[in-house]
Amino acid sequence: MRNIAILGSTGSIGTQTLDIVREHKEIKITALAAGSNIELLEKQIREFHPKIVCVYHENMAMKLREKVKDLTITIVSGMDGLISCATEGEAEMVVTAMVGMIGIRPTIEAIKAGKDIALANKETLVTAGHIIMPLVKEYNVALLPVDSEHSAIFQALQGEAHKSMKHILLTASGGPFRGRKLSELQNIRKEDALKHPNWSMGQKITIDSATMVNKGLEVMEARWLFDLEIDKIQVVVHPQSIIHSMVEYIDGSVIAQMGIPDMRLPIQYALFYPERIDLIGGKQLDFTTLKQITFEEPDMDTFFGLALAYEAGRNGGSMPTVYNAANEWAVARFLENKIGFLAIPTIIKEAMKNHKRIENPSLIDILNVENETYDFVKEYAESEFKYKP
């Protein structure tokens, strides 16, 4: 029996985690949390019987309380509610699958409560890796990556010593605009950017894939997860998304993890680690029908959001928070059709240029920097891109 809490249960990772739980009666759901999708949350409650559920927005929490008043269940809301779900006594593992910096505090509190973390929230390590990683050590919990690339690296590292690692080769599909030049990205529409060639994911992460900012966030995340200098983490464009990432060792040996793109595989790997179990309904890689896989260098001039991630990562401190917050704000506006595609990396660049870096930011510093970044980029977009709120 393994008890897990899922934060972000109505999103892409959350629902796929529940798909796996459905097939494994030995897993018990103790807590669920979501932003506002109470219709789906109600269904999940009736199927998985959690003890406590958080709806981030209190007005939606009230509506959910009404809907499930026939059940004995605690419905909470807000950041305190989220933290209650993250620290609920029976859970042994917390799946952090919410999008955005909202994930940091619940993750910290879950670690302090001794829970293992299945990490699907990028922002946590990108902005607060220097706070999280020492806590993971101090409280002796497992931090298991759920992202397919980081799971691949984690799998390729099994049985190997950290000192043997030479490079991490983080693969990238290159997104829907791979091969295009900067001038060709000027008039990209939201509909085009939402067409990812290999993975079906949430809207935010799909846009991040199109800009390759997603790969930039992954590079910064890998730096913390695998304790390697950022310049030893190299991006390899591999359009078929069959190799999910690789580790190159000091003897020249490269260990790669491969598979049909299916997020349930890394999710299940984290849930059952170190055991591997059958992936029900999973497809098998067939190399004879696959025929070939290809590799390219990333075009960092066109996808300069990726180059900026290396810059932010090298600078460290509060700079990755600026990178992330500026991107988060810009992607949301792009999805509202209020700014263009290339405005996204441009806004990140300007926000980083404007920021006075804090060496070792506290959690409060991080949250302040996030808000200051939002203020700056809003003003910048109003003046430069005629953005209107």
Asked if residue 249 binds its own copies (CB under 8 A), the reply is yes
Q: Which of 136, 198, 194 is nearest to 173 (CA)?
A: 198
Whether the ω angle into residue 345 lies within 30 degrees of 0, i.e. cis, is no
Name which of 181 and 276 has its Cβ closer to its own copies. Answer: 276
* Interface with its own copies in residues 295-324 (CB under 8 A): 295-297
Of 31-39, 202-210, 285-293, 351-359: span binding its own copies (CB under 8 A): 285-293
CA dist 116 and 91 (Å) reads: 9
- Stretch of residues binding its own copies (CB under 8 A), selected from 2-10, 72-80, 244-252, 315-323: 244-252
What is the Cα–Cα distance from 195 to 284, expressed in whole angstroms? 24
- 157: its two tokens: 């590292």
Q: What six digits make up the tokens of 90?
A: 């029976």
- Candidate list 256, 271, 319, 343; residue touching its own copies; CB under 8 A: 256
* Region of 98-106, 187-195, 207-215, 274-282 interacting with its own copies (CB under 8 A): 274-282
Report in angstroms how near the CB of residue 294 gets to its own copies at its nearest: 4
Return all residues near 226 (Cβ < 8 A) that are at least 6 apart: 153, 154, 157, 162, 165, 168
- Listed residue (253, 282, 287, 249) closest to 265, CA to CA: 282
The pattern of x and - marking residues 159 through 198 that bind its own copies according to CB under 8 A reads xxx--x----x-----------------------------
Give the separation between CA 91 and CA 18, rounded to whole angstroms: 15
CB of 353 to its own copies, least distance (A): 30
Instruction: Name which position in 26, 191, 275, 301 contacts its own copies (CB under 8 A).
Output: 275
List the Cα angle 321/133/124 in 5-degree steps: 35
Q: Which is nearer to its own copies, 292 or 383 (CB)?
A: 292
In the complex with its own copies, the residue whose CB is nearer, 243 or 312, is 243
97 contacts its own copies (rule: CB under 8 A):
no
Angle at 161 between CA 155 and CA 162, to 5 degrees: 85
Q: Which residues bind its own copies (CB under 8 A)?
A: 155-156, 158-161, 164, 169, 236, 238, 243, 246, 248-260, 262, 265, 268-269, 274-279, 282-285, 287-288, 290-297
